[in-house]
Amino acid sequence: MSDSVPVLGGVRLERVELRRIRMPLIRPFRTSFGTEHVRDVLLVKAETTDGEGWAECATEPEPLYSAEYTDAAEHVLEHHLIPRLFAANHVTAPAVATLLAPVKGHRMAKAAVETALLDAELRAAGLSLGAYLGAVRGAVDCGVSVGITGTVDELLEHVAGYVDDGYRRVKLKIEPGWDLEPVAAVRARWPDLPLQVDANTAYRVRDAPHLGRLDELRLLLIEQPLADDDLVGHAELAKILRTPICLDESIVSAAVAESAIRLGACSIVNVKPARVGGYLEARRVHDICATHGIPVWCGGMLETGVGRAANLALAALPNFTLPGDTSASARYYEHDITEPFVLDEGRLPVPTGPGIGVTPLSDVLAEVTTVVRAVVR
């Protein structure tokens, strides 16, 4: 993707392993979509004639964040996406999007298989994902996302722990009935803390006067206040609020990012590579936003080390100027499936090994695996 790296030569895909793992969360994570206590994660391993590659599918167990969900992702991978890649015989990761275009939607599933292939190709070439994408940093500033808690005191306790850990930005989940009071309490406790909020589509344009009361709290941004398909509404809201509007669920491709920016629907973009169909499309979103002077940051989906490693490579690109949700392994999991990512003065290192730079630990993987399915040529 960067001008200084070679074009990948492609591989012959022989077998794809679809592995479900069960990852208990250290602390339940609650949003407007529900509460998660355990992550049911789908891992994808691409086995090629030149080696293997790993990826994590970022889907949720239910279609609440997006239309995709994990059981459906596994089904569409097995029956519709992987067979098309087998039929291509020799495939390179940049060609995956075109090969899979006849299958409508399913961006997270497509992202998983594209990333696994890309990891395999980069490992064979001895090139890191960061170098391939055009990373300019060896480490990235990290933020943390804090879910909705039972009480304001509990929220303050959680935030205090993350501030002590050294996180450089805190994001608070909000929804009607849980917004002004908890956010004001955090701001009062930490007057200079870089702070932002995430509404996960919970509000409507008519809530503008209420959301406008957040302006006095000096937030970095308010993320996705309105429905994902309401770009016009976001543009209207942006004219009313002083707090910058950031889009998340709305941005499903580089083309939509361009439209949102031209409409004035946002002044910041959260780039989640799975949501846009993979790291190659995420790079295009990054480039379009950079052209328009729109800063971006890397969102998270409570990834294990497999997904976190790839996200760190993306977050090291030049226009990722705000701390992302690239938290340390210990934020979510007692034992990660890779060597843990450990926070160092609020930053995480960008993996420099070939591909995504990490490989699942076989003993840990065996302990957390619930089902393995193989799709063979």
Nearest C-alpha neighbor of 66 from the set 333, 325, 249, 229: 249
Spell out the SS3 assignment of 115-144: HHHHHHHHHHHCCEHHHHHCCCCCEEEEEE
Whether residue 2 lies inside any domain: the answer is no
51-57 sheet: strands from edge to edge? 51-57, 34-48, 13-31, 369-376
User: Which residues are within 8 A (CB) of 42 and not within 5 positions of it... i.e. 6 or more apart?
Assistant: 18, 19, 20, 56, 57, 59, 70, 73, 74, 112
Q: Would you state the pLDDT for residue 6?
A: 56
CATH label of the domain that carries residue 276: 3.20.20.120
Judgement on whether residues 96 and 150 belong to the same structural domain of the protein: no
Please state, in angstroms and rounded to a whole number, the distance separating the CA atoms of residues 360 and 43. 10
- Cβ atoms of 366 and 19 closer than 8 Å: no
Q: Would you state the pLDDT for residue 35?
A: 79
Judgement on whether residues 135 and 91 belong to the same structural domain of the protein: no
Judgement on whether residues 170 and 318 belong to the same structural domain of the protein: yes
Whether residue 155 lies inside any domain: the answer is yes
Positions marked catalytic: 173, 272
Judgement on whether residues 227 and 336 belong to the same structural domain of the protein: yes
Report the 10 Å Cβ neighbour count for 241: 16
Q: Would you state the pLDDT for residue 138?
A: 97
Token code pair at residue 346: 């609020």
Q: Which domain holds residue 214?
A: 131-349
Judgement on whether residues 115 and 231 belong to the same structural domain of the protein: no
Judgement on whether residues 48 and 180 belong to the same structural domain of the protein: no
Condensed to tens digits (0 to 9), the pLDDT of residues 225-279 reads 999 999 999 999 999 999 999 999 999 999 999 999 999 999 999 999 999 999 9
Nearest C-alpha neighbor of 274 from the set 245, 249, 246: 249
Judgement on whether residues 159 and 259 belong to the same structural domain of the protein: yes
Q: Would you state the pLDDT for residue 1?
A: 46
User: What pTM does this model have?
Assistant: 0.95
Q: How many domains does the chain have?
A: 2
CATH label of the domain that carries residue 104: 3.30.390.10
Q: Extract the residue ranges of the chain whose pLDDT is less than 50.
A: 1-5
Whether residue 333 lies inside any domain: the answer is yes
Alpha-carbon distances, residue 312 vs 12, 109, 269, 317 (angstroms) = 27, 20, 17, 9
Judgement on whether residues 51 and 199 belong to the same structural domain of the protein: no
Whether residue 354 lies inside any domain: the answer is no
Judgement on whether residues 68 and 48 belong to the same structural domain of the protein: yes
Q: Would you state the pLDDT for residue 93?
A: 94
Whether residue 6 lies inside any domain: the answer is no
Judgement on whether residues 249 and 139 belong to the same structural domain of the protein: yes
Whether residue 70 lies inside any domain: the answer is yes
Whether residue 5 lies inside any domain: the answer is no
Judgement on whether residues 240 and 156 belong to the same structural domain of the protein: yes
Whether residue 4 lies inside any domain: the answer is no
Judgement on whether residues 120 and 138 belong to the same structural domain of the protein: no
